[in-house]
Amino acid sequence: MTSVWIAATNSEVSDVEAIDQHRKTALDSPYSRDREEAIEALTTAFPSADERDQQRIAETLREVALESAHRDERELAKDRLFDCFENESGTIDTVLVGMVTEIATESKFSEERLEAIDALREIYSEIGEHQRDVVGKTLAEIAGNATREEERRKARRRLSDVARTEREECDTSDKGADEAVDYLGESLAEHLENAATKSREACLQRAEELFEFLDEQPLDDGSYEEVREDVKELMEALEIVDSETLADDRIERVERISERTKRLYARA
C-alpha cells in the first residue's frame, strides 16, 4: 500500500514539475518552436490537472496571448485558452474574460478588437454572473467611447444581444447587461451633447448612433417614443444645416434632447 501511495505522489509531483517546465518554456524560451510546443503541452495537460494547476495553465496562456511579440503565437495561445474554457468553463472564466476584455479594449489592431467584441457575446451564456457584469460594462464602454465607429456599432449590437439573452433566460437576479444598457443610453446622450460644440458632422454621427441605440433598446416608458422622435427630427435638421458649426439655438436643442435621454435611461 505504501509503495502505491509513494508512486501516486511521485506521479503528482512529476505532473506539477512538467507543468512548471512547460510554463517556463512558453513564457521564456528564445525559440519560437519550443514556445509553441509548450503551449500545446499545457493545453494537453489541462483536463487532468487539478483546479490550481488549471488556473496556472490558463494564466500562462493568457499572458502569452496578451504579451507575445509574435501574432501567430498570440493567436495560438488565445485559441488554446478557449479550448481549455470549453473543457472546464467554471474554473477559468475570470481568466478568459480578462483576456478577451483586454484585447477588446487595448489591442493595437482593430481586427483583433472587433473579433474580441464578438467573442464576448459568444461566451456570455457560459460564464458566471460576476463575469457577465464585466462583459456588459466592457461592451457599454466600447460602444460609448471607442474611437472607431465600426467598433462602437458592433459593441452596441453585441450588448443588445447579451441583454436579450438575459431576458430570454428570465433570470431576475442577473441584471448586468440591462444595467450596462442603461449606462450606455446615458453615455451616448452625453457624447451627443459634447459633439454639438465640435461640428455638425460629429453631432450628426452621434445622433445617428443614439437613434440606432433607441431602436435596438425600446423602453416601456411614456417618454420613450417622444425622445426617439426628438432624435429623429434632430438628425433630419442636422442633415440640412449648411455650416460646419452649430448655432447656439441648435446646441441648446441638442442639450435638451440629451438631458431627456439621460433621464429616460436613468429611471429605466
- Euclidean distance between CA atoms 156 and 216, whole angstroms: 9
Distance CA 27, CA 79 (A): 16
Largest CA distance in the chain: 90
State the cell numbers at 95: 481568466
List pLDDT tens digits, range 134-164: 999 999 999 999 999 999 999 999 998 888 8
Indicate if the pLDDT at residue 62 is higher than 50.
yes
Joined grid coordinates for residue 1:
500500500
- pLDDT (tens digit per residue) in 199-208: 999 999 999 9
**CA–CA separation, 202 vs 208, rounded Å?**
10
pLDDT value at residue 173: 53
Residue 17 identity: E
Instruction: Report how far residue 96's alpha carbon sits from residue 115's, in angstroms, rounded to the nearest whole number.
Output: 14
pTM: 0.82
Q: Which tens digits make up the pLDDT trace of 112-127? A: 999 999 999 999 999 9
Closest to 45 (Cα-Cα) out of 9, 73, 15: 15
